[in-house]
Structure 1
């Protein structure tokens, strides 16, 4: 017997040992189960300000907030049992292109889209009309 390791025999394949690699736990968790897209506090403040104004005018009555894997959606209802009147969506995948924020009506038509949420929410501002 010697202290030398055994030499591999010719014609016999031995399984290679794979070295263990260190993986960052944060990266591993995000790869397995990505976090849903959410609205930031400042974004919610802007949306809720418009929502409060429209509730005060009697046009909106209820809302729903959905945080999905690919986008966050703030839905506005006239009555809670109906389809949403409008959806305010945040889609980060479109941030570099048309803009992450959009307002969509009941039919699915995009009313306004952009990079700045406050500019997108201006679609709900009423235009004053001159009455004779």
Structure 2
């Protein structure tokens, strides 16, 4: 007689497990549909306003860092690699890797902290 209650208990446990998994699948599907509906109803576009002035200002009056590397500077340095030029720019650091790569670091309010990354391209004309 002890086998029958054990089998009944096992069957009830199995039935309960099947019911719970079916319920969780239905709830999960309903949650997915709600997320999908929220994503499709997001037709509102964020408004971004950009303002600027078209007036001449001296570079020294601007609250930003800027630099010019003109032909005279480039010829005077006679750089063999771009890092020799860019390391003369305030807030910039370019380290030369194996000759094929350069690691560029710019002081920036956007690219700050550990793990901040940016993509930079340097090109040579001529």
TM range (shorter): under 0.3
More strand by share: 1
Higher relative contact order (CA 8 A, sep 6+): 1
Q: TM-score, normalised by structure 1?
A: 0.22
TM-score of the aligned structures, taking structure 2 as reference length: 0.23
